[in-house]
Structure 1
Amino acid sequence: MTRAITLLATATMLAGCAHTSRKPANGPGVGSASYRVADDTGMAHYQLAMGQVATGATLEAHEPPAYPDAMLSSCPSLVEVPARVIVGTQGNVGDVRMNPPAAQLPFADAVRRAVRSWRYTPLTLSRWAADADGNSHPVDTEAKPFSLDYVFTFRCEHGHTSISSGPQPATR
Structure 2
Amino acid sequence: MTTRALLAAAIALLLGACAQTPNRSVSAPINNGSNDTRHYQLAMGQVASGGSPFQRVDPIYPPSLLPRCMLPVDVDALLIVDTDGKVDEVRVADETQADAAHKLFISATREAAKQWQFNPLTIRYWTADANGEQHETGSETRPFSLRYTFHFECRDGRAITHTADRPAQA
Aligned to 2:79: 85
Assess if the C-alpha contact under 8 Å between 1:77 and 1:157 holds in 2.
no
2:155 maps to which of 130, 154, 157: 157
Pairwise CA distance, 1:96: 0.3
Aligned to 2:65: 71
CA distance in 1, matches of 2:74, 2:57: 17
CA distance in 2, matches of 1:159, 1:48: 49
State the 4+ residue runs in structure 1 displaced beyond 6 angstroms.
Answer: none
Aligned to 1:125: 123
CA distance in 2, matches of 1:156, 1:61: 25
Residues matched between the structures, number: 121
Unaligned stretches of 5+ residues in structure 1: 1-41, 163-172
The alignment-based identity, stated in percent, is 43
Equivalent positions of 1:42-81 (< 5 A) are 45-81=39-75
Assess if the C-alpha contact under 8 Å between 1:88 and 1:146 holds in 2.
yes
Q: 1:104 to 1:131 in 2, by over 3 A?
A: same
RMSD of aligned Cα (Å) = 2.2
1:144 maps to which of 139, 142, 145: 142
Pairwise CA distance, 1:44: 5.0
What TM-score do the two structures reach when normalised by structure 1?
Answer: 0.65
Pairwise CA distance, 1:105: 0.9
| Matched residue type, 2:149 | V
CA distance in 2, matches of 1:113, 1:159: 22
Pairwise CA distance, 1:67: 1.1
CA distance in 2, matches of 1:110, 1:56: 26
Assess if the C-alpha contact under 8 Å between 1:129 and 1:136 holds in 2.
yes
Which of the pair has more CA radius of gyration?
Answer: 2
Q: Which has the higher contact order (CA 8 A, sep 6+)?
A: 1
